[in-house]
Copies of this chain bind each other. A is one copy, B any other.
Amino acid sequence: MPRTKEQFHAMQEESRAEIVQAALELFAEKGFDGASVSAIAKRAGISQGLMYNYFASKDELLLAIFEKGWADVQESFRVAAEAGRERPSLFDFIENACRLTLKHQDFWRLLGSLRTQPAAIERLGERVHQFESMILQQLEAFCSASLPKLPRTEKDAPTLNPHAEARLLFALIDGICTHLVRQPDSYPLDDVLAHLKPLYHSRFL
């Protein structure tokens, strides 16, 4: 009784997902170099050899993780956007980003370690850069909409620009999230956000 093509495909996908999950955890925990293929296979409950039926190499696996992780993150943002108000405030956006980070801790941890290594970035091709660009673009869009409202003195006027503002925001969010995933249990996220809120309200409202 041969399974249908669809069944096969579904099983494939399931197995892939299991391996990706195991690898993500281990990469996040020990870094790409520190997590051996055999450890990943063991955690995924399969043999080393089988892993190569699903992924051509350790690099391919990393790539798959990245794609999956990135898709998940985007999906989370999409869901949050739909659930929220029509047009979230910048602060809401930041808060949302931070809280979602906790949902994808392992991915952010992995991403954090990958971003430090030019070699790793090459492995992922342009993906990491694209990823950062997209975030920056989105932030810039936010800022473009808000910056005009900023009261400005004559002196700073020429230098104010959405791009730099987005950079600043990105650094802030990135910094918080980085610290957050490094101490997920003890980081005082609520307090930090509470301090951030008046800062951005005064600025953008």
A103-120 interface code vs B (CB 8 A; 1 in, 0 out): 000000100110111110
Q: Give every chain B residue within 8 A of A187 (Cβ-Cβ).
A: 167
Distance of A5 from chain B, by nearest CB (Å): 13
Q: Give every chain B residue within 8 A of A112 (Cβ-Cβ).
A: 116
The answer to whether the Cβ of A199 comes within 8 Å of any Cβ in the partner chain is: yes
Using CB atoms, name the residue of chain B closest to A180.
Answer: B171
Using CB atoms, name the residue of chain B closest to A34.
Answer: B119
Distance of A95 from chain B, by nearest CB (Å): 13
Cα separation A31 to B112 with both chains bound (whole Å): 13
With beta carbons under 8 angstroms apart, the residue of B113, B172, B173, B198 that contacts A117 is B113
A159-170 interface code vs B (CB 8 A; 1 in, 0 out): 111011101101
Distance of A152 from chain B, by nearest CB (Å): 8
Q: Do A164 and B33 have beta carbons less than 8 Å apart?
A: no
Using CB atoms, name the residue of chain B closest to A162.
Answer: B195
The answer to whether the Cβ of A191 comes within 8 Å of any Cβ in the partner chain is: yes
Given A30-B117, A119-B34, A199-B199, the answer on whether A171 and B163 have CB atoms closer than 8 Å is no
Cα separation A153 to B194 with both chains bound (whole Å): 12
Q: Give every chain B residue within 8 A of A197 (Cβ-Cβ).
A: 156
**11 A–B contact pairs at CB < 8 A?**
A29-B118, A109-B116, A153-B198, A159-B190, A161-B191, A164-B191, A165-B195, A167-B179, A170-B179, A171-B172, A171-B179
